[in-house]
Structure 1
Amino acid sequence: MSLPPVRRVITGHADDGLSKFQSDSTVQTQTRPNGTGISFIYSAPALPIDNQDPKDWATEEAQGRNFAGRPDLFDVPGISCRVIDIPPGAESNIHRTQTFDFVVVMEGVVHLKLDSGEERTLHSGDIVLQKGTNHAWTNPHPTEWARLYVVVTNSLPINIGGSTASASDTREV
């Protein structure tokens, strides 16, 4: 069973100052080589967010460009909201991003594995605060998909023992 499409409703203001719906649409999901789907919901190039900015930064991000126009999904100078769908049995590479992430398990079960070898099983409704650590996501279920809602925010560089860890720092565990 696959998951339903992600619906995105955006509100704003009319010229008279009253609230209005700006859009109501289904978000296109991009499929990665391991079958994982990413739906880009909202992005902003800086915090605090400018609610008057009419540009849909998530469209830029969905087209593979960061805020500087380069292809880097993890270079987040502001904030990015994403829905990540993990197919049955799929596992991500272990990776680090130079971000602070709020991760909510919306559907299914996932394993979060750290480079130390520690692992946690997370269920629907569980929340992870990901603080720039090396990690990998796995959907252990043989037939059911898992869905994560992720808010990625800019963070200061990770400093470990006096050295700055690279956002591309990956290793096998």
Structure 2
Amino acid sequence: MTNSVRRVVTGHDASGKAIIVADGPAECILQRPNRPGVTLTNFWQTFETPAPFDGPEETVDGPLVLHPPKGGSVFRFVTFEPEDPEVLASLDGKAAFAEMGAAHNIQANDRHPFMHRTDSVDYAVIVSGRIKMLMDEEADDVELSAGDVVVQRGTNHAWSNCYDAPCTIAFVLIDGKGTPAKGQG
């Protein structure tokens, strides 16, 4: 699902009437050679909680970063193409996450080069395909498929598409707080 995604944004006119302020393809997209086969598409972000109903008509026109804004949230799709184990073994997770302002979130020398811990609470819905969510211990890994939901609470993890079709996940990331786990950030 790396195709264009239609994004519709609502708002209000001067009299308070509901209107459409944007209707077109989502344009905040990140694909990069340091993380081949993964496409991130941001749809919207908020910069405070509670989020205002009115405000800017565009909130994702800057660089795409991993984390939501401090005190805010971000809504995105991430599409994971099937992984090639040989290519995966040659990749630098820290360099790939540095491109999204999150090199410090990568866990070095882990069993997957993109094992990381985010500073957010993430709501995820598997939109299509299958994927493995890797945890600290292999016994805790879980296979997810379309329709499954994950609540990721700042834990160390990686997404591994070891299957034969792309997987798209819808994420809402909410700025979080807490004490990092032992050995983490």
Structure 1 length as normaliser, TM-score? 0.80
Are 2:79 and 1:85 equivalent residues in the alignment?
yes
Q: Is the 8 A contact 2:68 2:174 kept in 1?
A: no
Q: Distance in 2 between matches of 1:13 and 1:75?
A: 25
Structure with greater helix percent: 2
The alpha carbon displacement at 1:40 in A equals: 0.6
Q: Is the 2:2–2:39 Cα contact (8 Å) retained in structure 1?
A: no
**Aligned match of 1:97:** 118
Deviation at 1:26, TM superposition (A): 0.5
* Aligned pairs for 1:105-144 within 5 A: 105-117=126-138, 118-142=140-164, 144=165
Equivalent residues of 1:40, 1:59 under 8 A apart? no
Q: What are the residue-to-residue correspondences of 1:1-173 with 2, within 5 Å?
A: 2-28=1-27, 29-33=29-33, 34-54=36-56, 56-60=58-62, 63-64=63-64, 72-74=65-67, 76-77=69-70, 78-89=72-83, 93-117=114-138, 118-142=140-164, 144-160=165-181, 165-166=184-185
**Which residue identity is paired with 1:108?**
G
**RMSD of the alignment, in Å?**
2.0
Gaps of 5+ in 1: 65-71, 167-173
CA change 1:40–1:140 in 2 (3 A) is same
What is the CA-CA distance between 1:76 and the residue it aligns to?
3.1
Shift of the 76–157 alpha-carbon distance from structure 1 to 2, 3 Å rule, reads farther
What fraction of aligned residue pairs are identical, expressed as a percent?
Answer: 25
**SS of corresponding position for 2:61:** helix
For structure 2, list consecutive stretches of 5 or more residues without a partner in the other structure.
Answer: 89-112
- Number of residue pairs aligned between Structure 1 and Structure 2: 153
The one-letter code sitting in structure 1 at the alignment partner of 2:76 is: R
Deviation of 1:16 after TM superposition, in Å, equals 1.9
Structure with more strand by fraction: 1
